[in-house]
Amino acid sequence: MKLKTIKSPDDILKIISETGFLPFFANDISGFSIEENIAPQYWFSGETDGAWEWKGQLAKSGECVYGKLFRGKAGFVSREWLPDLANYRRDGYDFEGFYEDGHANYKDKDVYDEIEKQGAVLSKELKRRLNYRKGGNKGFDTVITRLQMQTFVCVADFEYMRDKRGREYGWGVAKYTMPESIFGADFVLSAYDRKPLESKERILNHLRKILPRASEKQILRILN
C-alpha cells in the first residue's frame, strides 16, 4: 500500500480519516504505517518536530484515538471506526462485566479503576499510586498494553521535560485516559446495537478494500 508522503500532523490526520486505521510502525502489511511513509527528516530529528512529537497533538485532536492498538504496538484509529473496534475488542462488554466474567484480572481492574477515578493520569503517577516500583507490583507494561488493545484505555497526551529555556526534550511521558473521556460514552458505545462479530466483519470488509494486496491472515493480525 502506498500512502501520501507524510510531512505534517495534518497529513497523518488525513490518512487516518481516509483509512480509518494507521499503525505507527512497520508491520506485516508493507507500506501500511507512518514509519514507512514519513519524510525522513520528520522521523527522528533533533532540529524539528516530527512524528514522535505530533502523536500527542493528534491524540488530543478529538478526531482519532491513539494507543497500542495493533498487536501491542502503537497506532491510530479514526473516530468513525472506534465504536466498531470497541464493540469487537470488548466483546460487547463494559469493563465491569468484562472483569466479572473473567476476561480481565485484578491488576487490570486496579489500573482501569485508577484511570477512571483520575480521568487522565501520567504513567509515572499511575505506577506510583499502584506501587509499580522496585519491590512492589510487576508487569505494568503488560497490563497497560492489554487495556489499550481491549480499547478500555488510550493515550490522552504526552508530557515532556523542559530545559532552562522552556523547550521540551526527551521522550514524552504518556498520559492515559479512557476513550469515553474523550469522545463520550454514548459515542464510544454506539455500535453496541450490533453483535461484536458484526463489527468485526464491518472492519474486515473495510480493511480488505483499503488493503487489496494484503492477505486475510495479515489483515486479521492487524485487527485481532
Q: In this predicted structure, what is the pLDDT of residue 48?
A: 78
Examine residue 127 and state whether it is found in any structural domain, yes or no. Answer: yes
What is the distance between the alpha carbons of residues 32 and 193, in angstroms, rounded to a whole number?
Answer: 30
Examine residue 2 and state whether it is found in any structural domain, yes or no. Answer: no
Average pLDDT over residues 92-96: 97
The predicted-structure confidence for 40-55, as pLDDT tens digits, reads as follows 999 986 667 899 999 9
Q: In this predicted structure, what is the pLDDT of residue 167?
A: 67
Q: In this predicted structure, what is the pLDDT of residue 51?
A: 93
Examine residue 33 and state whether it is found in any structural domain, yes or no. Answer: yes
The predicted-structure confidence for 14-46, as pLDDT tens digits, reads as follows 999 999 999 999 999 999 999 999 999 999 866
The predicted-structure confidence for 171-197, as pLDDT tens digits, reads as follows 789 999 999 999 999 999 999 999 999
Q: How many domains does the chain have?
A: 1
Please name the residues in contact with 14: beta carbons below 8 A apart, sequence gap of 6 or more.
Answer: 4
The predicted-structure confidence for 129-178, as pLDDT tens digits, reads as follows 999 998 999 999 999 999 999 999 999 999 977 777 766 666 789 999 99
Examine residue 223 and state whether it is found in any structural domain, yes or no. Answer: no
Q: In this predicted structure, what is the pLDDT of residue 170?
A: 65
Share of the chain above pLDDT 70, in %: 95
Please name the residues in contact with 98: beta carbons below 8 A apart, sequence gap of 6 or more.
Answer: 90, 91, 104, 150, 152
Query: In which residue are the cell numbers 502506498 written?
Result: 2
Q: In this predicted structure, what is the pLDDT of residue 2?
A: 75
This prediction has a pTM of 0.94
Examine residue 58 and state whether it is found in any structural domain, yes or no. Answer: yes
Examine residue 113 and state whether it is found in any structural domain, yes or no. Answer: yes
Q: Is the pLDDT of residue 93 over 80?
A: yes
| Residue 33 burial (10 A CB sphere; 0-12, 13-18, 19+) | buried
Q: In this predicted structure, what is the pLDDT of residue 177?
A: 98
Question: Please, what is the end-to-end C-alpha distance for the chain in angstroms?
Answer: 20
Alpha helices per DSSP H over the chain: 9-19, 51-59, 82-89, 95-100, 106-118, 123-129, 140-149, 179-183, 185-188, 196-210, 216-223
- Closest to 182 (Cα-Cα) out of 40, 86, 41: 86
- Cell triple for residue 169? 526534550
Examine residue 224 and state whether it is found in any structural domain, yes or no. Answer: no
- Residue range of the domain that includes 172: 9-217
The predicted-structure confidence for 100-132, as pLDDT tens digits, reads as follows 999 999 999 999 999 999 999 999 999 999 999
What is the distance between the alpha carbons of residues 224 and 219, in angstroms, rounded to a whole number?
Answer: 9
Examine residue 150 and state whether it is found in any structural domain, yes or no. Answer: yes
